[in-house]
């Protein structure tokens, strides 16, 4: 029987899960690209990103090229938390099928 408590509660929320998933696909995502891909409002997206950043799962880089640009990436901790989350999720689905 899988232990549901092992599921990372910070990731186990649809908005944050979507952000973590996208960040896992590339090295870095700009705020605008994340917003376009997830179809979220600025406020919603920034709140989730702040939560993930505070937990040390997401790194933030601010650059000024022709205009200020903020990009986000998974930290090593975030990457392993996401992998662990997927592993537990898989166990839950498998256990349910038995």
Partner 1 sequence: MNERDRAEEHLRVIRTLMERATIYRAISAPTALAGGVIAITLAAFIWVREHHWAENAPEVMRHISTRGFASLWLGALAIVIALNTFFVWRKAHHDGRPFVSPSLKLALRSILPCLVLPAATTVWFFYDGFEFDNELLLVRVWIGFYGLALIATQHFAPRSLVFLGGAFLMTAAAMMVASRQLEYYATPLVPNLAMGVTFGFYHLIYAGCVWKSAVQADSE
Binding partner 1 by CB under 8 A: which of 26, 54, 77, 87?
26
> Could you give the CA distance from residue 36 to residue 10 in angstroms, rounded to a whole number?
22
Binding partner 1 by CB under 8 A: which of 8, 10, 28, 37?
37
Q: Which residue has 């899988």 as its token pair?
A: 2
- How many helices, marked H, and strands, marked E, lie in the chain? 4, 3
> Could you give the CA distance from residue 20 to residue 14 in angstroms, rounded to a whole number?
10
Whole-number minimum distance, CB 37 to partner 1, in Å? 6
Cβ contact 41:34 at 8 Å? no
* Residue 80 binds partner 1, judged by CB under 8 A: no
Q: Which residue has 């952000």 as its token pair?
A: 19
Contact code string over 38-67 relative to partner 1, x by CB under 8 A: -x----------------------------
Binding residues for partner 1, per CB under 8 A? 4, 12, 14, 17-18, 21-22, 24-26, 29, 33, 36-37, 39, 86, 89-90, 92-93, 95-96
């Amino acid at each position: 029987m899988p232990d549901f408590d092992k599921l990372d509660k910070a990731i186990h929320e649809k908005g944050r899960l979507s952000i973590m998933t996208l960040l896992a696909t590339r090295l870095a995502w700009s705020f605008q690209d994340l917003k376009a891909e997830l179809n979220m409002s600025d406020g919603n997206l920034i709140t989730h990103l702040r939560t993930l950043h505070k937990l040390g799962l997401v790194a933030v880089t601010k650059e000024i090229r022709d205009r200020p640009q903020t990009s986000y990436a998974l930290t090593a901790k975030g990457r392993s938390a996401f992998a662990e989350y997927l592993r537990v999720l898989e166990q839950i689905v498998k256990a349910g099928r038995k």
